[in-house]
């Protein structure tokens, strides 16, 4: 195989391919040979030239997954025209139709076989996303749009509930169950931050979100073939 003049393209191809396979089959179940086969035109030596171990590939994959949520939040961060509350609302909105979420949801069969990704989600939520949310909350406290005496803890719980508890990929559920969860989450977050942050416009996205994981749009609507 001819040598690539732009090795970063090769690196990216490896990461993308590994991401796909790790999501589909799980990290442990994916073999380096699987990645090689999926790439088609690279060898073992090529991979181990760019990454020092399989774990190293996983690290790069995790970073890649974190990337788009952090850049989205970073963009929000610089907006001077929004109150803390408005930034929070946008954030919650975004968290359900980001590219990563979509591809992740459509590719991962069930996260039960992917404890690595579950752990990654939990920790990146707490370490990278929550601190930024905390910032928004503190802004909201200053500009008067949010009320709480525990911004740090609130941000952690918020992201945990949004990313994990409400995620049908983690806790599979029917449409009605998801709706009930969402309603209760509205209630709780309202009492946490002193004002509603989750409005019903998220609901549509939420159900698309769920459909991706479960397939059937609803189990509550019996539709005998007419």
Partner DNA sequence: AAAATACATACCGCCAGTCGGTATCAAAAG
Partner DNA sequence: CTTTTGATACCGACTGGCGGTATGTATTTT
Residues that bind a copy of itself (CB under 8 A): 28, 111-112, 115-116, 118-119, 122-123, 126, 150, 152-154, 156-157, 160-161, 164-165, 170-171, 180-181, 183-185, 187-188, 191-192
- Supply the minimum distance, in Å, between the C-beta of residue 225 and DNA: 43
Task: Decide if 170 contacts 118 (C-beta within 8 A).
Answer: yes
**Nearest approach, Cβ of 46 to a copy of itself (angstroms)?**
25
CA atoms in the 13 A half-sphere facing the CB of 203: 14
Of 28 and 143, the one with the shorter C-beta distance to DNA is: 28
* Nearest Cα to Cα of residue 26 among 45, 68, 54: 54
**Residue 168: closest CA among 110, 88, 81:** 110
Tell me 161's DSSP state: I
Angle 15-20-63 from CA coordinates, rounded to 5°: 45
Determine which residue in the list 15, 26, 30, 121 makes contact with DNA, applying CB under 7 A.
30
Q: What Rg value do the Cα atoms of the chain yield, rounded?
A: 20
3 near DNA, rule: CB under 7 A: yes
**Encoded tokens for 44:** 């073992």
With CB under 5 to 8 Å by kind, the binding choice for 119 among DNA, a copy of itself, none is a copy of itself
Nearer to DNA, 52 or 77 (CB): 52
Residue whose CB is less far from DNA, 11 or 203: 11
Interacting residues with DNA (CB under 7 A): 1-5, 7, 10, 30-33, 41-46, 48-50, 52-55
């Amino acid at each position: 195989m001819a040598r690539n003049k732009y090795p970063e393209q090769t690196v990216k191809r490896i990461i993308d391919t590994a991401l796909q396979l790790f999501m589909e089959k799980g990290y442990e179940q994916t073999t380096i040979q699987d990645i090689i086969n999926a790439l088609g035109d690279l060898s073992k030596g090529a991979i181990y030239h760019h990454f020092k171990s399989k774990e190293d590939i996983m690290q790069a994959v995790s970073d890649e997954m974190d990337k788009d949520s952090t850049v989205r939040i970073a963009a929000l961060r610089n907006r001077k025209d929004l109150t803390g509350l408005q930034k929070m609302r946008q954030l919650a909105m975004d968290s359900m139709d980001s590219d990563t979420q979509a591809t992740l949801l459509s590719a991962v069969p069930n996260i039960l076989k992917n404890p690595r990704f579950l752990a990654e989600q939990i920790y990146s939520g707490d370490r990278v996303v929550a601190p930024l949310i905390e910032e928004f909350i503190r802004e909201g406290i200053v500009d008067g749009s949010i009320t709480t005496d525990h911004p740090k803890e609130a941000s952690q719980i918020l992201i945990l509930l949004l990313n994990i508890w409400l995620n049908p990929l983690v806790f599979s559920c029917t449409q009605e169950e998801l709706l009930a969860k969402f309603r209760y989450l509205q209630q709780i977050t309202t009492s946490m931050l002193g004002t509603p942050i989750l409005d019903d416009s998220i609901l549509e996205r939420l159900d698309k979100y769920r459909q991706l994981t479960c397939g059937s749009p609803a189990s509550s609507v019996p539709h005998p073939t007419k």
